[in-house]
Structure 1
Amino acid sequence: MKLNVNIEYRTSWGESLVLYLGGRRYPLSYAGEGIWKTEIAKLAVGKGIEYSYEVVRDGGVVRKEWKGHSLVLPEGLKVKEASVNDRWNDRPVDAPFYSSAFTGAIFGRGKAAKPAKVAQANLMFQVSAANVRPGEVLAIAASSQELGAWSKVIPFDDSRYPVWTLPLNVTGPFAYKFIIADKATLAPVAWEDGENRWFGGMPDPGELIVEADQQPSFSGRAWKGAGTAIPVFSLRTEEDFGVGEFYDLKKMVDWAAATGQGVLQLLPINDTTMFGTWEDSYPYNPNSTFALHPQFLHLPAAGVKVDDEYKALQAELNALDQIDYERVNNSKIALLKKAFARTFKKLSATAGYQKFIEKNAAWLLPYAAFCVLRDLNGTPDFSKWKGFAKYNRKKVAAFCAEHQADVDFWCFVQYHLDKQLSEVCTYAHSKGVVFKGDLPIGISRTSVDAWLYPELFNMNSQAGAPPDAFSADGQNWGFPTYNWEKMAEDDYAWWKARLAKMAEYFDAFRIDHILGFFRIWEIPLQYKSGLEGYFNPALPFPAHELESQGFDVRDAGLFIEDPRKAGHYHPKIGARSTQSYQWLDAYRRAAFDRLYDEFFYRRNNEFWKDKAMQKLPALLDSTGMLACGEDLGMIPATVPQVMSDLRILSLEIQRMPKDPEQEFANPAWYPYLSVCTTSTHDMNPIRAWWEEDRLVTEHFYHNMLGGQGDAPYYCEPWICRQILDQHLWSPAMLTVLPLQDWLSMDGALRREDPNAERINVPANPRHYWRYRMHLTVEALQAADEFNATLSQMIASSGR
């Protein structure tokens, strides 16, 4: 088949367009008026082709499209020549709807019907449109008599959703409009905005014209959804084993779907086992960014025998108010080892197990070796492993051969974890519910990742956060920072592999501390306090510039020398609280204030924006997940623009307004591309917060709820209901609230002690993560009155 391509694109001087197809680049010729053309004389289309456009200059690619193109000809149609009128694919305003969260679940269209065979067609519309609900279909109405003279709704084929196709056989030009119609009745739901469109370029005999340059435009289609945030470990069902498990999510999915919710937001689920103590409960310190935590396994489905001893221990652990991390995990591992000894030989011969090993070998085998070496040496600190402090593939392979059974055990555990979670994800999709995962900003310095790829991390430094209203000393998370320059050398392969693994289970994800992709607060390894940190990367002041203003750069109270650029200095974040600052005269104090504000709030903004744009697009576009950013803290001025340009949903919290002039944020003013919530896992839920500070509570009661008189001492159910309604009625795309806050509006269901509902206390670096919901998911499902109220609240708010 001969392929002709036409595309409108305005290039700059010295630039040209190429078509990238099948590993080859075909140059396009400029035809004037912004039109570029090329033709390929002989092209085997087969079941379809995929291609993209690139802008080149001086032999190098300077710009690529957000997404590529595909061309699939109708089955049964013989085409000698196809002429495609194309469009450059920039990231659209409605990009979130193209994520797997919508295309695979929320707007998922089930099993696509096979398109009907087409014997004759000389025109095919091919349109990308993701914001079309499951019970709807894209269609057109047209002016010509053969297409119904505006009285007929002609539906597109949705088998390749979100790409829609409509083959037609036409004899003359016509005007037309896109329509969204009811899929069952074809009754119009919405007509597109603007003037009628026009098709007038009639095909030659034997030619198929593909109109792929049209983009429908419908107003008033701002879908909004609701969801619940709950860590997997916090779930409680009648069938689990002292901790929430992946299979518990099935019942949570049923509850979410029954109450009109489409999202379940989870905390990280990676394996955090280091020493086998309760301190391993911290979910943001994984020993592998790929492996799943063994505690989430439902034991009977992994071959564990359910005998009287099992039932007795299960009942004892499930009776606890909180998680006993050590007993739960030690018991589960012991029981799994028995199941492994009994079932592995048969399992290892199955095609499913062998396929899992082959697909995941790159991370799985090093992880299994790490676990065995960790247990043999009594420490995850690989620098203390004699002969294995540095990862050597051949030595590790030999070690695995010597300890094959132990290595196989950890592969066996990961196989069952993957199988169970994959099953749950498929089930969630069938119910129109998506899982939103959590991508930690850091990795443990005693992890498989650091062992395998130490060159990707700055092992002599620690990531953290500068001081804020919640932590006067700043935060030191202990993670090594990223060596972004090294990561860029292979186009961020480690990141892309990590995200690809995450995308096997999640359709949306929260980017923990997204500011770290702009710059990270870096603390030298020898320090504990966040006050000793500095931003990396940054544009520090050269010594002569500071000395010319009368400052002594050696004054450790005012400045920190950049560790990578000698003779260049950062203003110290806590400088204005030091004696060095107090000893400055008024003139120099004012001068220091000016350079301090310049450095932290202006000087680096564009620089940090450029750094983020070097990496974020490549990472975000490597999977189909919906990206949501945790953009809290000391936010550079350019962060909101980058997030807007990349269509990353922001995080909006009423108690943490983005505007420093506000005491509380107003949910009615939230942007559409955002996730709004009442609380996070690092905060007190609504009821406990209400009792934190009486003065703040009074302000909130009067100014945000319009209350009269003294605020109630306790956060009564009716107050909680008001707060929840404010969030549901916000313009935000997603309202995802902690389960504790949903339950707060029901006096009979909510926990008696609100202070027992907190998940984490960031000020405590040794916090024990052990919160469990106080009622079972089965009891939650059976709470008819509460669920009816919740369903009504969600539906009436347009979610």
Structure 2
Amino acid sequence: MPFDRASGLLLHISSLPSHGGIGDLGPAAYDFANFLEAAGQRIWQVLPLSPVGYGNSPYASLSAMAVNPLLVSLEVLRDWGWLTAEQLNAAALPTASGPVDFDTVIQQKLPLLREAAASFLKQRGSAKEPAQWVAFEKFCADKADWLDDYVAFVILREAHGNALWTEWEAPLAHRDPAALAAFRKEQAHALEVEKAIQFAFDEQWRYLRAYCAERGIQLMGDIAIFVSFDSADVWTHPEIFELREDKMPLRVAGVPPDYFSETGQRWGNPLYRWDTLAQQDFAWWVGRMRRATELYDMIRLDHFRGFEAFWAIPGEDETAVNGTWVKAPGHALFAALEKELGQLALVAEDLGVITDEVDKLRTDFKMPGMRILQFGFGNRGAHSYLPHRFESNAVVYTGTHDNDTTLGWWQTGSTPEERKHVAEYLSIGEDGPVWAMIRAASSSVADLCLFPVQDVLELGSEARMNVPSAATGNWSWRYNQSALTRAIADKLSAITDITDRTLRAQREIVQAAKEKAAEAAALEPVESPS
């Protein structure tokens, strides 16, 4: 769908300088929303909010529906009365600065979250029963189609030392009804605790989203096309994934060999049984996207190319070399989503080698594609990423979470030829290359324009969020509490305003158009009576 002209910042919740060692939905999130407003920004893009799995990656999640409990604010739980000030003060939690140490956060914050949730549950039926109780019961009822199985998966996975669900005892791995019923009865309290934590996130997110909306800020989320094998989704719905009789993946996702890798990339995600999904009117995907619309105003579809055709790799292969392209029912899927949910505010991540068929799928459903400035300064074939080649229905970035920061790219990732082309294309000036790129993106015709916070802060490679080829060390960056200054907000606001991306600028444009139309109507000649 077409978007109003606007700009925003890309920052995952975990990157906020919150108390407890990881960014959360507490005071730091509201401070960032205030910064966005002061800087004239109207979009806050986050990475998937899902509970993280392997490598702490939000793209390797334990659930496509649930949210990451580590992003729940303990300070807000204290304000709700789920925790006492003494409990919070006594906890040996990491500081509000420095990168995320996921192991420490899990060991120290998760028990406190469960303690808070248990405290909330104890008040059921008492004189102190919180007003939130009705909302909690409604949440559990409304989300039962995924929530009950997700919390069971979490408790079972933990009880089995985080082993793959295929390694659990067969009755539970294969979801024997009697075994599951016995487990749910035995672990009823633990399951309720996990539900309460999910509820806490939803409540805190709802308040933050309302706060942003009051300031004209929309939240953009991110949906990974594939799900992890080690997830509640595959355990719960094995029939919609390509699995062998032993429940291991028959074929897995990835991308073929290219200039960057002779063996391609083997991601390992199980592939969908699209024929089964189609027979079910894509019900699982409808539920997934309905959940996304509950969380976000706008949705970025990761690896959009896979909705038209995907690279299918034999499950037993260790590389992507022997994969093949297989058609996906993208048109049927998006038509079904539109029928059930109405027109969705979708952005297609269409980076890489894109075919005419992929472009047609995107344009048929009026989705903007992505343009990355860092990609535009190589050979002439890369110029589609430069502003003079943009169309208005596009989203331009200086870089994404998978790229180096713009300063890091300039210093060590770009070639001498690319730096020469940047100097020829842009007026770098005293501000240096990063702000020159920000200005170029903002002044382009692309309707949407997004910058990683690392670029606004002019940080180097030390602030990179993700190196796709690295198995460890990713996703941990956080900005310092004092980094986002009023001076930076004013500088960004001035650029955003002059390029007609602020809310005030959009209102003035609409008003000017109305005045021009009224003026034209007043000048129309009046026909004389016959």
Contact 1:456 1:487 in 2 (8 A): yes
Contact 1:317 1:328 in 2 (8 A): no
Contact 2:406 2:434 in 1 (8 A): yes
- Matching of residues 387-402 of structure 1 within 5 Å: 387-402=171-186
Distance (whole Å) between structure 1 residues aligned to residue 427 and residue 431 of structure 2: 16
Match of 2:271 among 467, 477, 481: 481
Number of the residue aligned with 2:58: 283
Q: What SS does the aligned partner of 1:413 have?
A: helix
Task: State the 1:659 CA deviation.
Answer: 11
Paired residue type of 2:306: G
Paired residue type of 1:400: R
Contact 2:39 2:489 in 1 (8 A): yes
Paired residue type of 1:736: L
Task: State the 1:398 CA deviation.
Answer: 2.8
Number of the residue aligned with 1:462: 252
Number of the residue aligned with 1:438: 222
1:526 maps to 2:316: yes
Deviations 1:554-592 (A, max 9, x none): xxxxxxxxxxxxxxxxxxxxxxxxxxxxxxxxxxxxxxx
Match of 1:406 among 170, 190, 193: 190
Match of 1:292 among 67, 78, 96: 67
Distance (whole Å) between structure 1 residues aligned to residue 198 and residue 185 of structure 2: 19
Distance (whole Å) between structure 1 residues aligned to residue 426 and residue 379 of structure 2: 20
Number of the residue aligned with 1:118: none
1:264 maps to 2:264: no
Match of 2:395 among 659, 675, 685: 675
1:688 maps to 2:471: no
Distance (whole Å) between structure 2 residues aligned to residue 384 and residue 529 of structure 1: 24
Distance (whole Å) between structure 2 residues aligned to residue 290 and residue 791 of structure 1: 35
Number of the residue aligned with 2:7: 226
Number of the residue aligned with 2:204: 420
Q: CA RMSD in A?
A: 2.3
Distance 1:310 1:524, change over 3 A: farther
1:655 maps to 2:374: yes
Number of the residue aligned with 1:318: 96
Number of the residue aligned with 1:740: 454
Distance (whole Å) between structure 2 residues aligned to residue 347 and residue 621 of structure 1: 40
Contact 1:499 1:622 in 2 (8 A): no
Q: How many residues are aligned here?
A: 480
**Where in structure 2 are there 5+ consecutive unaligned residues?**
243-248, 502-530
Distance (whole Å) between structure 1 residues aligned to residue 13 and residue 138 of structure 2: 27
Distance 1:426 1:442, change over 3 A: same
1:618 maps to 2:345: no
Deviations 1:604-655 (A, max 9, x none): xxxx7xx321222222554354100000122112222221221101001123
TM-score, normalised relative to structure 2: 0.85
Number of the residue aligned with 1:627: 346
Distance (whole Å) between structure 2 residues aligned to residue 696 and residue 653 of structure 1: 18
Q: What SS does the aligned partner of 1:286 have?
A: coil
Contact 2:301 2:348 in 1 (8 A): yes
Distance (whole Å) between structure 2 residues aligned to residue 658 and residue 496 of structure 1: 39
Contact 1:226 1:735 in 2 (8 A): yes
Distance (whole Å) between structure 1 residues aligned to residue 318 and residue 202 of structure 2: 37
Distance (whole Å) between structure 2 residues aligned to residue 414 and residue 312 of structure 1: 21
Distance 1:325 1:678, change over 3 A: same
Paired residue type of 2:60: N
1:703 maps to 2:417: no
Number of the residue aligned with 2:488: 786
Distance (whole Å) between structure 1 residues aligned to residue 478 and residue 90 of structure 2: 20
Q: Greater CA deviation, 509-518 or 460-469?
A: 460-469
Identical columns (%):
27
- Matching of residues 200-215 of structure 1 within 5 Å: none
Paired residue type of 1:323: V
Contact 2:308 2:357 in 1 (8 A): no
Distance (whole Å) between structure 1 residues aligned to residue 416 and residue 376 of structure 2: 18
Paired residue type of 1:340: A
Deviations 1:495-547 (A, max 9, x none): 0101111111101011000011011111111112122211123xxxxxxxxxx
Deviations 1:73-116 (A, max 9, x none): xxxxxxxxxxxxxxxxxxxxxx435xxxxxxxxxxxxxxxxxxx
- Matching of residues 24-173 of structure 1 within 5 Å: 95-96=1-2
Task: State the 1:784 CA deviation.
Answer: 2.2
Contact 1:669 1:730 in 2 (8 A): no
Task: State the 1:371 CA deviation.
Answer: 1.2
Number of the residue aligned with 2:33: 253
Runs ≥4 residues deviating over 4 A: 657-660
Match of 2:365 among 615, 636, 646: 646
TM-score, normalised relative to structure 1: 0.57
Number of the residue aligned with 1:244: 23
Paired residue type of 1:617: A
1:764 maps to 2:483: no
Number of the residue aligned with 2:509: none
Number of the residue aligned with 2:233: 449
Contact 1:264 1:435 in 2 (8 A): yes
Number of the residue aligned with 1:755: 461
Which structure ranks higher in relative contact order (CA pairs < 8 Å, sequence separation ≥ 6)?
A: 2
Paired residue type of 1:317: T
Distance (whole Å) between structure 2 residues aligned to residue 471 and residue 288 of structure 1: 29
Distance (whole Å) between structure 2 residues aligned to residue 619 and residue 335 of structure 1: 39
Paired residue type of 1:424: L
User: Which structure has the larger Rg?
Assistant: 1
Deviations 1:44-75 (A, max 9, x none): xxxxxxxxxxxxxxxxxxxxxxxxxxxxxxxx
Deviations 1:295-334 (A, max 9, x none): 10101323233338736734x4324x21100111221111
Distance (whole Å) between structure 1 residues aligned to residue 21 and residue 400 of structure 2: 24
Number of the residue aligned with 2:527: none
Distance 1:662 1:390, change over 3 A: same
Distance 1:266 1:469, change over 3 A: farther
Task: State the 1:706 CA deviation.
Answer: 6.0
Contact 1:669 1:731 in 2 (8 A): no
Number of the residue aligned with 1:17: none
